[in-house]
Amino acid sequence: MLDKLAVIKNKVVDAKRLQSNLASWRILGQKIVFTNGCFDILHAGHVQSLAGAASFGNRLIVGLNADVSVKRLKSAGRPIQKQDDRALLLAAMHFVDLVVIFEEDTPEQLIQAINPDVLVKGGDYKVADIAGANWVLENGGKVELINYLDNSSSTNIISKIREGL
């Protein structure tokens, strides 16, 4: 019997394994969905947006900002959790098929490598501001926005903890 933790860890892939999975899924005609984020402290807003993203296709790939990019984007005190831990939490969700860690500030290169059928981001974004949106649209894909869960962010949670609330 397969070790369940090994199955979860196997969903965190590098570029080579990513391409192998993509090829298999495309042969089967499956619709590939991509979303991304830092996912520093997993919360209800993350679960809602990831489950929503998964509903747009057959396979959900999550791009995860590496620790170095989270530090550049958020602050020197972030991330709270290391990238391997964040990746494991995401991979444990049954509706997440693959997690790919990227070091750049945006997932533009990863999006081009995947060429997803659907790119999904939170409703707090505008399509024109989403990294990779133009690429996806120019290559026949769609960009979808998921409703944003108010007051649900890692930054808000971290602030509450620091304030002792």
If residue 69 lies in a helix (H) or strand (E), which one and from where to where? helix 67-73
Q: Is the distance from CB of 103 to CB of 136 less than 8 angstroms?
A: no
What's the CATH class of domain 19-163?
alpha beta
- DSSP readout, 29-55? TPPEEEEEE--SS--HHHHHHHHHHHT
pLDDT tens per residue, range 155-165: 677 777 778 76
Query: pLDDT over 90 for what percent of the chain?
Result: 78
Number of helices (H) and strands (E) in the chain: give both, helices first: 8, 6
Amino acid found at 154: S
Predicted TM-score (pTM) of this structure: 0.92
* All residues at 6 or more sequence positions from 105 whose CB lies less than 8 Å from its CB, including other chains: 69, 72, 73
Average pLDDT along the chain: 92
pLDDT tens per residue, range 74-132: 887 889 999 999 999 999 999 999 999 999 999 999 999 999 999 999 888 899 999 99
Which pLDDT score is estimated for 150? Answer: 64
